[in-house]
Structure 1
Amino acid sequence: MFVTFLRFAENRTAAPEFMAAHNDWIAQGFADGVFLCVGSLQPAAGGAILAHGESREAHDTRIAADPFVVEGIVTAETYEIDPKRTVPALEFVKAAS
Structure 2
Amino acid sequence: MYVINLSYIASLERVDDALDAHRAFLDEQFAAGVFVAAGPKVPRDGGVILAVGIEREKLDAILAADPFAVQQVARYDVTEFKATRLAPGLNLPMPIEG
What's 1:86 paired with?
86
Deviation at 1:64, TM superposition (A): 1.1
Runs of 4+ off more than 6 Å: none
Aligned position for 2:74: 74
Q: Percent identity?
A: 32
Aligned to 1:96: 95
Q: Structure 2: where are the runs of 5+ without partners?
A: none
Flag the structure with higher helix content. 1
Q: Given residue 80 of structure 2, which amino acid in structure 1 is its aligned partner? A: E
Alpha-carbon offset, residue 8 of structure 1: 0.5
Specify the SS of the correspondent of 1:96: coil
Q: What is the root-mean-square deviation of aligned Cα atoms in Å?
A: 1.6
Aligned partners of 1:92, 1:12: CA distance in 2, in Å?
A: 32
User: Which 5+ residue runs of structure 1 have no aligned equivalent?
Assistant: none
Normalised to the residue count of structure 1, the TM-score between the two structures is 0.88
Instruction: Kindly report which structure 2 residues correspond to 1:1-97, keeping only aligned pairs within 5 A, or say none.
Output: 1-10=1-10, 12-93=12-93, 95-97=94-96
| Number of equivalences | 96
